[in-house]
Amino acid sequence: MAGSQHDHPLSGKTMKIPDILIERTQEDTNRYVGWLKTIDLSIDGNLRLAGSFQSPEYPVWPRFHDNFHYPLGMERLLNLGFLGIKQMAWKNIARFKGNEKRYFQLIHRVYLAVTRVVDLYARAAQEINRQDIYRICRALCQRAPATFREACQLYWFATLFRIGTATIGRIDQHLYPFYQSDLEKGFITREEARELLAELLYRFERRGNGLGDTLQNITLGGRNASGEDETNDLTYIILELSLENKYIEPKVNVRLHERTPEYLLELVSRLQLKGTGICTIFNDDAIIESLVKYGRPAEIAAKYCADGCSEIILDGTGETVFRYIDCLKALEHTLFNGKENIPSKKRLQYYANTQDYIEIKSPVAKGKKTGDFLEMKTFETFYRAYLSQLKYQIDIVLATPYNSDENPMRLFTAATMPQVLDGGGEPYSNTACYHTYGLFIGSLGTAVNGIAAVKSLVYEKKLVTKKALIVALHDNFESQSIMKQLCKDAPKFGNDDDYVDKIAVDVASKFASWVNVYKDRTGKPILPGLYNHLFHHAAYSVGATPDGRKFGDPVGEHISPTPGTAGKGPTSIINSVCKINTSEQIFGSTLHLNIPLVSLKGIEEPQNILKHLVRVFCMKNGCVLNVNLLDSDKLLDAQKHPEKYKDLVVRVWGFSYYFTLLSKEMQDHVIARSKSA
């Protein structure tokens, strides 16, 4: 491969850009510059910012160059502006040769086209006599933003120019320096800033277009690497606005830590009480330290944020890509010697009742031959076979690299990444970038229920023979009511029972150790996580299991217990989950804590209960928590009479959505969550 070489500014390693990367970047740049010309330039006279809510449709499916699961480098973009990036690219054209020179020529071309669109917006504003918008757009053609309103305008242009709906990141931190400066200079009042933020949130809601899973996540609050609180007035304003509206966009995530202000906790608990699952909690004191252990510098680790769901990624430093395996499938493979035990193939919608049906497939459908279960004399032999099946899935899924030169990062985004404009190389081979490539393991809570049932019923109490269990599972527990009840009565994860919880601890720890062996192209470890957004699909990719669930019965989402099996209350659930060292699973280990709404009736200040649960979760070193207040009677009635509940919003996985627009299978799963054991 041709391409000149230059020294990386941080590592001293020789880097080069291959021909194929330049070729593919050229192709996408041609498309992108052409696409910019199709952007709607009309300006709403009732709004303070320019730019339509939607980006035009891209001529090809754009995820080859940007999966939208990570934020732009907004701090750098706000600091340089569109013009600053264009100028830095121009300077580098003279400094480099070969493919590196061509790379900077393409960045310059992209940002030249971007500034031309901003100038067209300025002209459109002048035509309708919006001199305020005209002046702001002209300023953004000539320099970096200098005021809060200019920063908000650039923020929206960047959102629009990125093509698809995408992760937003730490918006309160991105915009705060401009807000603080304007306040000190008397250029703006808090109420005026509030109006601008209200418009930004409204724009994200309109941009989401009622679709739900749009990846538009914001992350608020948190502490820095020194432990100092970074909550600011914009944090509060955004949360106050979120309480006032009924939006499902953007998704709200809040970082908490030991020094979190009481008012922030108050706003969080009030958002949780709305019952929409719209506010997810991240525990800085566990997460930042763990990211450092995984090789992330403390200053960068302290800038973490949420992906489009609940994955932990690094704001403005690189992309993220995730894959997943399923530990319940590994249990099926162990019991059936590498084969599946699915009674029939199932077609499901992704999550909404308007989406196309697709055939459900397991990430690794066929396991390895680990021996006949009937010949496994001891539980230890069975458990070793299970772990072997699990590791087999990991090795299969991680055998392929996470990125390639054939699909380079789109230049509008790449130019905002660390050291790219400084000559550090394109993002995928640039060691200054901290990509978060991860592997999720799904269905842990349900899998360990099955393992515990085998241990208890087959090997210890000897209430069930191996052959009888295999027959029952093969027959989906049909005409097996006694067997099914025995399995249901076996110990279950989420009840603070060490018998099953210790299995979860061991499986999770071994999973992390096996994933840690794998590295990305810059030598950084692949990150493990206890998460699976396709939990409702997993219910149909695995047959009946030894915990008593039948084919299609719900499985536990993420690190949560199986719906309907945790009967000792939320504290016991937290105790079970926090026995696991979730800080090892740092790509994301989310507990959906489902609380029946009836349990809070008659309590004068129910938000205090939620505050207490959040504090306990963080004190026990939990990583990510989402609290769901669910009314099973209302959900059942909404399923029968959807016309009465058009505004009913519930948590799905990393987002909240209208219950009546969910698929029947997803509705059934949410209803199952609302019921205690």
Tens-digit pLDDT profile for residues 593-618:
999 888 888 888 899 999 999 999 99
Mean per-residue pLDDT for 373-393? 98
Contacts of 676 (CB under 8 A, 6+ apart): 564, 566, 567, 596
Whole-number Å distance between alpha carbons of 268 and 435: 29
Q: Would you kindly state where each structural domain of the chain is located, as residue ranges? A: 19-164, 168-306+594-633, 317-588
User: Is 7's pLDDT higher than 50?
Assistant: no
**Residue 10 binned pLDDT confidence (cut-offs 50, 70, 90):** very low
Alpha carbon 648 to its chain centroid, in Å, reads 23
Whole-number Å distance between alpha carbons of 326 and 342: 15
What pLDDT is recorded for position 309?
87
Secondary structure of 214-273 in the HEC alphabet? CCCEEEEECECCCCCECCCHHHHHHHHHHHHCCCCCCEEEEEECCCCCHHHHHHHHHHHH
Mean per-residue pLDDT for 85-104? 96
User: Is 556's pLDDT higher than 70?
Assistant: yes
What pLDDT is recorded for position 290?
96
Q: Tokens standing for 171?
A: 């918006």
**Residue 676 binned pLDDT confidence (cut-offs 50, 70, 90):** low
What pLDDT is recorded for position 598?
83
Mean per-residue pLDDT for 208-230? 96
Mean per-residue pLDDT for 544-570? 95
**Residue 11 binned pLDDT confidence (cut-offs 50, 70, 90):** very low
Mean per-residue pLDDT for 559-570? 94
> What value does the mean pLDDT of the chain take?
94
What pLDDT is recorded for position 308?
85
Tell me the per-residue pLDDT of 459-482, one tens digit each, with 9 for 90 and over: 999 999 999 999 999 999 999 999
**Residue 347 binned pLDDT confidence (cut-offs 50, 70, 90):** very high
33-42, 61-70, 119-128, 618-627: range with lowest mean pLDDT: 61-70
Helix (H) or strand (E) run with residue 672 in it: helix 664-673
Contacts of 563 (CB under 8 A, 6+ apart): 554, 556, 594, 669, 672, 673, 675
**Residue 151 binned pLDDT confidence (cut-offs 50, 70, 90):** very high
Q: What is the pTM of this model?
A: 0.94
**Residue 61 binned pLDDT confidence (cut-offs 50, 70, 90):** confident
What pLDDT is recorded for position 15?
60
Mean per-residue pLDDT for 526-548? 95
What pLDDT is recorded for position 14?
38
3-12, 483-492, 648-657: range with lowest mean pLDDT: 3-12
302-306, 321-325, 366-370, 603-607: range with lowest mean pLDDT: 603-607
Query: What count of Cα atoms within 13 Å lies in the side-chain half-sphere of residue 277?
Result: 31
Which residue reads 């006949």 in tokens? 372
Residue 217: strand, helix, or coil: strand
